[in-house]
A and B are shown apart, each in its own frame.
Chain A
């Protein structure tokens, strides 16, 4: 060793391992327009499919005449439910234990439901022909109000299960009932409420919204008649699940199905499940012997693919008069549309909604959720949040504000008083969740200090007085949210998708020259996995991140995994990556000991090498060990240097955060302008701070869209009125606020690298933060709850109801 030998720190920096702002690998192709998205795929002889869709929300299909459509030159085939019946694919199973029509079978149940699938030589002809399919409908009364779904005279939506008293999740109490699911201790909660000093009860509605990734759902199905094998490229957040489900329903053996998810232009939960378009493209390819591409347009995406939320949560909190919470109850009606195609783990028809006790120490709590059918699009999914977690966070965060208001306490102080204390971790909630780690008080303190919370409240008071004196027509709102998420689904004892446990995987192979490849069961849709998993490996194995290729999405080569959604990649596959690395490292250590002629225990690890304890000039780098693994291994040892790990997480992870928003409402127009948004996130160990920041920016922007204007709205006749980007609110760079990000780090004790996942936290915490801010602006005038979205006209209407326009 001499002055020229790089120090440990220098060597570590060169690796670009965990903790550094490594520039993204995937960017190189994306900035050149050389991404490979599904619609970029062109295969010889490829056909195009397009749907004829129902204009009615609820109607009998009396007749479908495809003659004119089939006669258009260039049309190869037209599929209807009748065609699909011959291969038993007119209906398909959903991830939630229900069944869903692939093409209209005697009835249509929501506007724009798929009725016929036209296959043609090019997409222009397919579009022309789709217009020529003639359908005779007999309109039926429809219902789009979930609160009316279980009325005695409600229209029957699901005639196929009308008389079934048992559903996939237990007994059904009405023909439009899907399930009832409960968690917590009802008796204990009721007792707490019975003797409470103060209680609040409020109907908190989280409207139906849609993840709306910029790329819509699409696929290319190519059935090889010679080999009897199906290759399916698609926008799949969970490609292996698609393969297994595809095999089960099509009866094509799973080893003869090759599912490939290439680059995906955003997912946000929209691309987890299977859609009629995929099934129809597969059937069409089998029938025609040619590849078939299906690309939906935006209106189809917004009005028929999996929506999110649509939860009506009657939320109650009980507290002592000096502000200690004692009980929580929530009764929810969940609108699942026409088919329950909710992408949840099987045992959880309402997902992980029981995280609703949030960051607070509730001694007693109980929730009950009734899912119902309506004449709306089927679903739902977790739109950038873990399963139903954002709904739960919204209910509790709004509930806490409403209780604080009743107690005449500051919302931040009220939270501080009730936050789970750091000594209580690992903390078992009233619903049985074991929160892994957290230091909530420090986070909230830091947030409040950074924004100058006290000063903001003083300023607000002054402005409120000025408003009352008529000196200003603006109202200042300060929103606080302290969320705890439950992500990283999940432990096999809790979580399965159609029976498949929700583990995940990483397979790492190191080549002789010390570079390597890592394949995983997750699937990035923009989260930067090619960059971040390599950073974990770089730190674990001491090989430069640039030397590690990361691959996902090809089910033939990637180990089995459950995909990417619910912020599960880092908690599960990130753990698998670390564990696989440690197997490799253990083998490398033995090789090093053999080469250095010492005992394994005489070696210590130093960034990128094993060195002899007390004799650091004697070392072997991982690169040298890689070569040795293929050249000469200790007697009795297999050559090669690779490992695979399937990781069954022992628990979920619980990222959390403290968010504070300051905004000003123009009372005369109802428009709000965000002055400041501060987001402190704790996601445990931070793998790439640059990517974390990007995820927070993106999640907050989606939260902003949701809170301030997004809704998938149906009128009374079941028409979707917000099905295009004209009306579905996607903010531009002008409306989008500037984000301030910050962090604390409390690693997860059960995770190999202590990381928790972060992608969805900002959406979970952001929505209630914005909503609390708007509500806070009006609270001093006696307003208790203004529901989302807080678009101009609704905010104005709330102001008008308070008499502010006289």
Chain B
């Protein structure tokens, strides 16, 4: 199938590329833009490892064609840190709270957590668990991921972080 030209902003940079219509956004990001942060863990849109932030929405990049993302503004895990390399509060928090082990779900999880905290600055534990229910993890059992998100939420809103009694 003939390729078409698409352009979009990815992690703050304008990109212009040729893609087949059937090229999945996740493959476009990983193979053409060399952003290997978003990962592929399934082909049935369940695992969320491919999650990116697109026009202010958490989107599974495996369930969208790159052509559909023409003209959009996308942020991947590679765009979470500041320009000077300072890690985003969530990236720090995941490390601080041991919210990752193999790291495979982590990019999607952090990018989703970012949007979750934009939707809700101070989510309860239940809201966090529901908010990340589109992201599967096999290593951590989610508990420390929840803690990491709570920690980041506190940091971002300047509130003190209270670690729940063990």
Q: Which residues of A contact B (CB under 8 A)?
A: 23-24, 26-35, 37, 39-40, 42, 123-124, 212-216, 263-266, 268, 297-299, 525-528, 690-691, 693-695, 697-702, 724-726, 730, 732-734, 736, 738-741
Contacts and interface: CB of A to CB of B under 8 A. Distances in A.
A266 B102 contact: yes
A734 B129 contact: yes
B164 to A, nearest CB: 9
Given A26-B103, A697-B140, A733-B142, 20 more contacts: A32-B81, A33-B37, A33-B106, A37-B36, A37-B104, A39-B36, A124-B20, A124-B23, A213-B138, A214-B136, A265-B41, A298-B44, A694-B144, A697-B143, A725-B44, A726-B44, A726-B46, A732-B133, A733-B137, A734-B133
A733 B128 contact: yes
A263 B36 CA distance: 13
User: Which 9 residue pairs across A and B have the least CB separation, nearest first?
Assistant: A33-B37, A526-B102, A265-B104, A30-B103, A697-B141, A33-B77, A701-B141, A526-B101, A725-B46
B105 interface: yes
B59 interface: no
Nearest to A691: B98
A187 B37 CA distance: 60
B35 A266 contact: no
Contact of A214 (B34, B105, B142): B105
Contact of B47 (A214, A299, A526): A214
Given A30-B103, A31-B87, A734 B130 contact: yes
Contacts, number: 183
Contact of B137 (A214, A298, A700, A724): A214
A733 B132 contact: yes
Contacts of B35: 33
A27 B143 contact: no
A724 B44 contact: yes
| Majority-rule SS of B interface residues | loop
With most chain B CB atoms within 10 A of its CB, the pick from A30, A40, A527, A694 is A30
A730 B142 CA distance: 12
Nearest to A741: B166
Contacts of A699: 141
Interface in B10-60: 20, 22-23, 27, 30-31, 34-44, 46-47, 49
B141 A216 contact: no
B119 interface: no
Contacts of A738: 143
B10 to A, nearest CB: 13
Nearest to B146: A733
Contacts of B67: none
| Majority-rule SS of A interface residues | loop
Interface string B99-132: 0111111110010000000000000000011101
9 contacts: A33-B106, A214-B138, A215-B41, A697-B141, A698-B141, A701-B140, A724-B42, A732-B133, A733-B137
B98 A694 contact: yes
Given A214-B104, A698-B139, A725-B46, A693 B98 contact: yes
B37 A525 contact: no
B150 interface: no
Contact of A739 (B23, B49, B143): B143
Contacts of A733: 128-130, 132-133, 135, 137, 142, 145-146
Nearest to B104: A265
Contact of B95 (A28, A266, A724): A28
Contacts of A700: 141
Contact of A37 (B39, B101, B135): B39
Contact of B100 (A30, A34, A730, A740): A30
A366 to B, nearest CB: 37
Contacts of A268: 138
Interface of B: 20, 22-23, 27, 30-31, 34-44, 46-47, 49, 76-78, 80-81, 87, 91-92, 94-96, 98, 100-107, 110, 128-130, 132-146, 166
Contacts of B77: 31-33
A738 B42 CA distance: 26
Nearest to A21: B98
A299 B43 contact: yes
B91 A32 contact: yes
Contact of A298 (B41, B81, B98): B41
Contacts of B135: 732-733
A23 B140 contact: no
B148 to A, nearest CB: 10
Contacts of A698: 101, 138-141
Contacts of B132: 732-733
B56 to A, nearest CB: 20
B47 A528 contact: no
A676 to B, nearest CB: 14
A732 B144 CA distance: 14
A526 B110 CA distance: 17
B81 to A, nearest CB: 6
Contacts of A26: 103
Given A30-B103, A37-B39, A694-B101, A266 B91 contact: no
B110 A31 contact: yes
A124 to B, nearest CB: 7
Contacts of A525: 102
B87 A739 contact: no
Contacts of A724: 42-44, 46
Nearest to B44: A724
A293 to B, nearest CB: 11
A124 B22 contact: yes
A730 B44 CA distance: 13
A215 B104 CA distance: 7
A67 B103 CA distance: 42
Given A214-B47, A265-B102, A298-B41, A739 B141 contact: yes
Contacts of A527: 101
Given A31-B110, A124-B20, A726-B44, A213 B102 contact: yes
Given A214-B41, A216-B41, A694-B98, A732 B87 contact: no
Contacts of A39: 30, 36, 39-40
B138 A40 contact: no
